Each structure stands twice: as structure tokens, then as C-alpha cells.
């Protein structure tokens, strides 16, 4: 039986990516050109620099994706592209390129929601996964609990009221001298620390049991650091507590490895991570129970966080639920997940026309 | 051989199909709608109207910059996609030179002014030897005062065009010491036919790049890079 082959393109933030995906589940190629090293210099993604890089990389990345899949453009059944949410300048490169390719090659064009892509990464890693299931979507820009009722049908159960979880990670990483990207760096450091060293607050939002807020947590961590800074200044304690590390990249603070109360930077990272993971897992599992689903998925950049994965697995299984998450390479921004989501749009004939535009603030479930 | 020409460097979106001696179709829109939505449907329209099969397109000419960063990239990504699939070369054309080409044949000095914000313009100085374009001063991002000084230095009548001509009309009238005219509305802004016309010469000279190689000419680094450089200098 001939399969359905989709060439997918993703350029919503700082990764230029293209992939060839068969039947929404089988990845024939998954090429990602990352700009992380470039943006590390600035302590975060610089939109104009990201857009310029996308223009340089997009054709080579697409060519490589087709070559690795050992397929030609003419063998593709459709061209898919992320059209939102994301950085508008970045999105526009992928959208304009995909439209031109679809037009010139006479292929249907499919616009894909970036977050639906992240959710769909689970279809690739777990070939037997089918809706309905509940998905926690966590990344630098998103923190959502989403009910996946069917392919392409999403209902938001919970959301953050301020920072996204990944954003909180980035800010804390900067404050303790780890730099960008914060998630993997805090995760690695936290492994050496005591997660119960400091009791950071968990925000509860009235009448919204599945919503999140990370600004209070972020302030609590920054407060702790400020108090430490004052103490160390008073006691000229920098020498006693070790030389501050970090502070090379823009916006990254110098931070001592040990604090006046004897705790370490690793303890702080572990305690912060514990507070984040605790609320993410507790609320996701509670929402799954309330929705009556037995499968819980994680998606998005933060889904590769080791503490989040193991805790969700532990608590989920204790509650008799199946817990799934994509392999790390599919958690990061990639085009294979876009190809997967696009396949189910393709089956429902959700085809875009040549006026498809980038929608930086695209809402989940919107078309 | 036909040539597809595209200019999305500023508010005007313009596409054209040309042969060496004719503009078969030109479609320009100077209206507040995003290039991202209009450009490809406009290309489709001129292709249809001229019954052009993609196999007839020998090259794609594009206004490569300077200009609006986003506008340039929408044009660039569109061209890179089309040229990759059609397997044709890309002819990058200076946006400023293409504006000057709107008034090809004049014996005045031609000074296109494109608004670059921050009190600056993208500009250059051009002239014509018959209808052959001659570059007097390379494209740059400059303060309006220095542009006015350069035009005055030439001491010859000048034609001013581009979207910043209107913005700086008062200063031009006050500070230019040479006779000058601002091009009329049908010539004052970007036209893909001018891009295409210049591209035929460049094509003959072999000045093409592949779809993969083509990147816009910004003539200005990003704000983040500029601020970082300023910080490092201090």
C-alpha cells in the first residue's frame, strides 16, 4: 500500500527544521539546524537574528530532509508548515517558503499549529497512541493542559496566568549564572541538589484548579538570591563562599556556588525544579482524573526535563494511568512533529490556500 | 525565455513577467495588506494572465535589498521556494538601483530614498548613459543630511524617488542647492518591471546565484547586534 508522505517545515523560533513523515507516524528524516549557540551570546532568542538565519538555512535543511528520506519533492503528497504561534519574522520565512514550494510543485499546503505539532510528537514515539488523552504542553512559550478529544480536536483545560514553565526556567537560569537555554542547564544542576532544601511556594489559582502561575515562584527564587547578595556584600563573603560563576552572556548574573545558609546553587536549582514539577504533575493528574482519561502525555521543550518525566510516570502509574512522552529529539522544536499533525489535517482535507499567513498569537484549536 | 520579477522590499508588493523586450504583465499593490498574503496569489495571477508555463521561466529576479527586513525575507523565501522547485537561478537586484531604473533615460542624477527609520534612508546615486544604468555612489544606509550633501556635490539636476521622498520633501526643498524633481506617483515607488529589466543585463553578465545561496542584502545589522557592539566598545 502506498503511504502518505508529507514534507514538513518548522521555523517558529530559533530552529530551522524540515522532515519527511510517512502516514503521520513514521519519520523518514528529521533535520534540525539549531541557532542556540548564536543566541546564547544575547541571553535569549533575538528575533531579527533568528529570521536572518532561517533564510540562510531553510533551503539546505529542506534539501537534506528529502535526501535523507531518499525521496524527491514530486513523491510528496503534501507540504506542511508551522504558521503559528511563534516569532512572526521566523514564522514568515517558513510560511512563504512552504507556500512557494506547494505552489510550484502543485502540492496541497497544510498549515499546522506549533503546539498541535508538539502534542503529535507523541504519535511518532508511541505508534499505538490514539485520542482521547490528556496532554501537558510545556515549553518556553506555553504551559497548557489540553484534552485531546480526537485528531485535531483540542480543548484547553488549564493554562498559565503569567510565565510559561520554560520561561521561568530561563529566567532562573540567568539569575544563577547558568545562561541560555535554561531548562537543560537547571535540570542538570538540579540532579546534584536537594529538592527539599528550600520550600518555594506553589501558586493556587482560585476557581481554576488546573491553571498555573509561576511568577510568584520566580519572585521567591529571585528574593532568596537578593537576600544572599546583600548578606555576601555585608560580609564581603564572596571570597568565603567561592568566586561567582557565570555572567558571560548578556543578562546572566554572577552567582556564588554556595550561600550563607550552607545551601548550594544546586540545592536552589533542585528546589525550584521541584516546585515547578510538583504543580505540573499534580494538576495534570488531577485533570486527567476529572476528565476520566487513562492516558497522559507530555509535550513541548520542557517535556525532555528528566524530573518532570520521572515524576509524571511515577504519579501517573500510581493512579493507574499510562504516561507517554516523546523521545528528547522530538521534544525540541522539530518538523517531524509538524508532519505528524499535518497528516491528520490532510486526512480531513484541511488544506490551506496561497493566502496562508503567519499568525504569531495563534490559539490552540483555532483554524 | 521569460523572467519572473518580484519586489516586496517596502509597502508596495510588485510582481512582473518579462521577456527581453516586453513587460508581459505587471501587478503592483500599494495598499495595507501583508506581502505574506498577497505575494504568491499575485505571482499566480501574472503567470495565468500571460499563460506562462513554469518551464518557460528561465530565472527569477528579486529586489534583494536594502529595504524592510521582513518584506525582503518574504520575497526571499518565496523566491527560494520557487527557484528550488523550478530549478532556475536567482538574479538579485539592488532595490535602490531598481527604483532608479523607474526613470531610465534621464540625464539627471537619480537619488532613490527608501525610509530606513531612525532618521535614516537606504539610498545610492545613479545615472544613465543612454538607457544603461551607471552607479555613481554605492547603496548605503545614511542620514538624510549626508545624502543631501552628496547630491549637492554632484552639482547636477536630480530626480528623487522612493517612499522617503515625501517624508523628507521639506528638507529637500530647503537644503538641496541643485534643481530637483520628485518623481510622480506612477514612478516614485518600487516596480517589479524595473527589477526585471535590470535583471536581464545582470543575467547576461552571469550575475546569478542559486536558490540555496540567495540571501537578502540588509545593509544594516540587527538592533541587538548593534547594541552589543556598542556595549563592547565601551
Query: Are A96 and B81 in contact (CB < 8 Å)?
Result: yes
Identify whether the C-beta of residue A79 lies closer than 8 Å to the C-beta of residue A102: yes
A211 shares its domain with A264: yes
pLDDT, position A246? 47
Domain B2-95+191-225 in CATH: superfamily?
Answer: ATPase, nucleotide binding domain (3.30.420.40)
A100 preceded by cis ω (within 30°)? no
Identical fold, B2-95+191-225 and B96-188: yes
Whose cell is 504568491? That residue is B40
> What gap in Å lies between CA A101 and CA B30, rounded to an integer?
25
Residues A283 and A172 both lie in one domain? yes
Q: Is A355 on the interface with B (CB under 8 A)?
A: yes
Distance in Å, alpha carbon of A334 to nearest chain B alpha carbon: 19
Q: How far apart are CA A142 and CA B63, in angstroms?
A: 37
Number of domains in chain A: 2
Whether A96 and B36 lie within 8 Å, measured CB to CB = yes
Mapped onto helix, strand or coil, the DSSP state of residue A364 is coil
Are A273 and A165 in contact, with CB atoms under 8 Å apart? no
Task: Give yes or no: residues A63 and A107 share one domain.
Answer: yes
pLDDT tens digits, A196-248:
999 999 988 989 999 999 999 999 999 999 998 888 777 654 454 444 444 44
pLDDT at A258: 87
> Of B14, B24, B43, nearest to B195 (Cα)?
B14
| Contact between residue A99 and residue B40 where contact means Cβ atoms under 8 Å apart | yes
In a domain, A356, yes or no: no
A41 and B215 within 8 Å at the Cβ level: the answer is: no
Burial (CB < 10 A; 0-12, 13-18, 19+), residue B119, is exposed
DSSP A160: B
pLDDT of residue A66: 98
Question: Cα distance from A58 to chain B (closest Cα, Å)?
Answer: 8
User: Among B40, B70, B215, whose Cβ lies nearest the Cβ of A103?
Assistant: B40
pLDDT per position in chain A (367 positions), as tens? 589 999 999 999 999 999 999 999 999 999 999 988 888 888 888 999 999 999 999 999 999 999 999 999 999 999 999 999 999 999 999 999 999 999 999 999 999 999 999 999 999 999 999 999 999 999 988 899 999 999 999 999 999 999 999 999 999 999 999 988 889 999 999 999 999 999 999 988 989 999 999 999 999 999 999 998 888 777 654 454 444 444 445 566 778 888 888 899 999 999 999 999 999 999 999 999 999 999 999 999 999 999 999 999 999 999 999 999 999 999 999 999 999 999 999 999 999 999 999 999 998 876 6
Q: Is residue A352 part of a domain?
A: no
Please give the pLDDT value at position A237: 47
Q: Please give the Cα distance from B99 to B195 (Å, whole number).
A: 8
Helix or strand (DSSP H, E) at A150 = strand A143-150
A105 touches chain B (CB under 8 A): yes
Domain boundaries, chain B: 2-95+191-225, 96-188
Instruction: Evaluate if residue B207 carries a pLDDT over 70.
Output: yes
Give the Cα separation of B170 and A185 in Å (integer).
56
- Residue closest to B6 by CA, chosen among B92, B111, B133, B121: B92
CA distance A308 to A274: 9
Residues of chain B contacting residue A65, judged by C-beta atoms under 8 Å apart: none
Which among A41, A92, A355 has CB closest to B73?
Answer: A92
Q: B79-95: per-residue pLDDT in tens? A: 999 999 999 999 999 99
Range of the domain at A248: 133-326
Q: Are residues A178 and A308 in the same domain?
A: yes
* Residue A72 grid coordinates: 524527491
Report which of A114, A214, A117 is spatially closest to residue A166, judged by C-alpha positions: A214
Three-state SS for A245?
A: strand
Stretch B166-181: mean pLDDT, rounded? 97
Q: Are A219 and A256 within one domain?
A: yes
Residue A358 lies in a domain: no
Residue A354 lies in a domain: no
The reply to whether ipTM tops 0.90 is: yes
CA angle A24, A25, A29 (to 5 degrees): 90
CATH, residue A147 = 3.30.420.40
Contact A101 B84 (CB under 8 A): yes
Query: Is the link from the previous residue into A85 a cis peptide, with omega within 30 of 0?
Result: yes
Query: How many other CB atoms are there within 10 angstroms of residue A61's CB atom?
Result: 22
Instruction: Clarify whether residues A117 and A148 are in a common domain.
Output: no
Angle between helices A265-291 and A182-190 (to 10 degrees): 110
Contact across the interface for A355 and B37, Cβ inside 8 Å: yes
Would you tell me which CATH number, out of the four given (2.30.30.40, 1.20.950.20, 3.30.420.40, 3.90.800.10), belongs to the domain B96-188? 3.30.420.40
The DSSP 8-state label assigned to residue A357 in this structure reads -
**Reported pTM:** 0.93
B54 in Cβ contact with A104 (< 8 Å):
yes
Q: Is residue A359 part of a domain?
A: no
Between chains, do A49 and B41 touch, taking CB under 8 Å as contact? Answer: no
Of A49, A58, A356, the CB nearest to B77: A58
Residues of A in contact with B85 (CB under 8 A): 73, 100-101, 104-105
Question: What is the distance in angstroms between the Cα of A210 and the nearest Cα belonging to chain B?
Answer: 37
- The helix/strand/coil state of B181 is strand
Q: Are residues A275 and A153 in the same domain?
A: yes
Q: Both A164 and A313 in a single domain?
A: yes
pLDDT score, position A285: 98
Q: Which residues of A touch B216 (CB under 8 A)?
A: 55
The single-letter DSSP state of residue A74 is G
Q: How many A-B residue pairs are in contact by the CB < 8 A criterion?
A: 107
Q: Is the domain of A38 the same as that of A157?
A: no
**Cα distance from B145 to chain A (closest Cα, Å)?**
28
A359 shares contact with chain B (CB less than 8 Å) = no
Q: Which of B39, B85, B212 sits opposite A60 (nearest CB)?
A: B212
For chain B, say whether A92 makes contact (Cβ under 8 Å): yes
* Nearest C-alpha in B relative to A251: B228
Please give the Cα distance from A133 to A144 (Å, whole number). Answer: 14
Query: Minimal Cα–Cα distance from B50 to chain A, Å?
Result: 16
A358 in contact with chain B, both atoms CB, cutoff 8 A = yes
Which of A99, A105, A352, A358 is best to mutate for the B interface (most B CBs within 10 A)?
A: A99
Distance from CA of B41 to the nearest CA of A (A): 6
A49 and B39 within 8 Å at the Cβ level: the answer is no
User: Phi-psi category of A246—alpha, beta or left, where left has phi over 0 and alpha has psi -120 to 50?
Assistant: left
Residues A164 and A117 in one domain: no
- Report the residue of A75, A97, A248 to disrupt the B interface, i.e. the one with the largest count of B CBs within 10 Å: A97
Q: Are B39 and B31 in contact (CB under 8 A)?
A: no
Are both A270 and A203 inside the same structural domain?
yes
Name the nearest CA neighbour of A96 among A358, A321, A361, A335. A358
Whether the CB-CB separation of A309 and A148 falls below 8 Å is answered with: no
Pairwise CB contact (< 8 Å): A96 & B225 = no
Rounded-to-10 torsion of CA B145, B150, B156, B158 = -50
E strand or H helix at A170 = helix A165-175
**CA distance between the termini of chain A:** 31
Say if residue A193 is in the same domain as residue A304. Answer: yes
Amino acid at each position: 500500500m502506498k503511504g502518505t508522505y508529507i514534507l514538513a517545515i518548522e521555523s517558529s523560533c530559533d530552529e530551522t527544521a524540515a522532515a519527511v513523515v510517512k502516514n503521520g507516524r513514521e519519520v523518514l528524516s528529521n533535520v534540525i539546524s539549531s541557532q542556540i549557540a548564536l543566541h546564547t551570546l544575547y541571553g535569549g532568542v533575538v528575533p531579527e537574528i533568528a529570521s536572518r538565519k532561517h533564510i540562510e538555512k531553510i533551503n539546505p535543511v529542506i534539501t537534506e530532509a528529502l535526501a535523507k528520506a531518499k525521496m524527491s519533492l514530486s513523491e510528496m503528497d503534501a507540504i506542511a508548515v508551522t504558521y503559528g504561534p511563534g516569532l512572526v519574522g521566523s514564522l514568515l520565512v517558513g510560511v512563504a517558503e512552504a507556500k512557494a514550494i506547494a505552489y510550484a510543485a502543485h502540492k496541497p499546503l497544510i498549515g499546522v499549529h506549533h503546539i498541535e505539532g508538539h502534542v503529535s510528537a507523541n504519535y511518532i514515539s508511541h505508534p499505538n497512541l490514539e485520542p482521547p488523552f490528556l496532554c501537558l504542553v510545556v515549553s518556553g512559550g506555553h504551559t497548557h493542559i489540553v484534552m485531546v478529544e480526537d485528531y485535531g480536536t483540542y480543548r484547553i483545560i488549564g493554562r498559565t496566568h503569567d510565565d510559561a514553565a520554560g520561561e521561568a526556567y530561563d529566567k532562573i537560569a540567568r539569575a544563577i549564572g547558568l545562561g541560555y537555554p535554561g531548562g537543560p542547564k537547571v535540570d542538570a544542576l538540579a540532579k546534584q541538589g536537594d529538592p527539599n532544601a528550600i520550600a518555594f511556594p506553589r501558586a493556587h489559582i482560585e476557581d481554576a484548579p488546573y491553571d498555573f502561575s509561576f511568577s510568584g515562584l520566580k519572585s521567591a527564587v529571585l528574593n532568596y538570591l537578593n537576600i544572599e547578595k546583600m548578606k555576601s556584600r555585608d560580609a564581603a563573603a564572596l571570597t568565603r563562599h567561592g568566586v561567582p560563576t557565570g555572567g558571560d552572556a548578556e543578562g546572566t548574573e554572577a552567582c556564588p556556588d554556595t550561600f550563607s545558609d550552607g545551601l548550594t546553587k544546586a540545592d536552589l536549582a533542585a528546589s525550584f525544579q521541584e516546585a515547578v514539577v510538583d504543580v505540573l504533575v499534580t494538576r495534570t493528574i488531577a485533570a486527567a482524573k476529572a476528565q476520566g482519561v487513562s492516558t497522559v502525555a507530555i509535550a513541548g521543550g520542557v517535556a525532555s526535563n528528566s524530573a518532570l518525566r520521572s515524576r509524571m510516570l511515577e504519579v501517573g502509574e500510581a493512579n493507574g494511568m499510562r504516561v507517554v512522552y516523546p523521545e528528547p529529539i522530538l521534544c525540541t522544536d522539530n518538523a517531524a512533529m509538524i508532519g505528524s499533525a499535518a497528516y491528520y489535517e490532510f486526512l480531513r482535507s484541511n488544506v490551506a490556500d496561497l493566502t496562508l499567513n503567519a499568525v504569531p498569537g495563534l490559539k490552540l484549536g483555532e483554524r | 525565455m521569460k523572467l519572473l520579477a518580484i519586489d516586496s522590499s517596502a509597502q508596495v508588493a510588485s510582481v512582473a513577467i518579462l521577456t527581453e523586450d516586453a513587460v508581459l504583465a505587471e501587478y503592483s499593490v500599494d495598499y495595507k495588506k501583508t506581502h505574506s498574503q498577497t505575494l504568491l496569489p499575485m505571482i499566480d495571477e501574472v503567470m495565468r494572465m500571460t499563460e506562462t508555463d513554469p518551464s518557460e521561466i528561465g530565472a527569477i529576479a528579486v529586489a534583494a535589498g536594502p529595504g524592510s527586513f521582513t518584506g525582503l525575507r518574504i520575497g526571499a523565501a518565496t523566491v527560494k521556494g520557487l527557484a528550488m522547485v523550478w530549478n532556475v537561478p536567482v538574479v538579485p537586484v539592488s532595490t535602490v538601483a531598481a527604483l532608479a531604473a523607474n526613470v531610465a533615460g534621464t540625464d539627471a542624477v537619480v537619488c532613490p530614498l527608501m525610509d530606513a527609520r531612525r532618521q535614516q534612508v537606504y539610498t545610492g546615486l545613479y545615472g544613465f548613459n543612454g538607457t544603461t544604468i551607471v552607479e555613481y555612489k554605492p547603496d548605503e544606509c545614511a542620514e538624510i543630511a549626508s545624502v543631501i550633501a552628496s547630491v549637492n556635490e554632484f552639482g547636477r539636476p536630480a530626480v528623487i524617488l522612493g517612499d522617503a521622498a515625501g517624508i523628507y520633501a521639506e528638507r529637500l526643498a530647503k537644503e538641496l542647492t541643485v534643481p530637483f524633481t520628485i518623481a510622480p506617483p506612477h514612478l516614485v515607488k518600487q516596480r517589479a518591471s524595473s527589477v526585471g529589466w535590470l535583471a536581464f543585463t545582470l543575467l547576461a553578465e552571469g550575475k546569478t546565484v542559486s536558490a540555496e545561496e540567495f540571501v537578502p542584502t540588509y545593509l544594516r545589522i540587527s538592533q541587538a547586534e548593534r547594541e552589543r557592539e556598542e556595549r563592547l566598545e565601551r
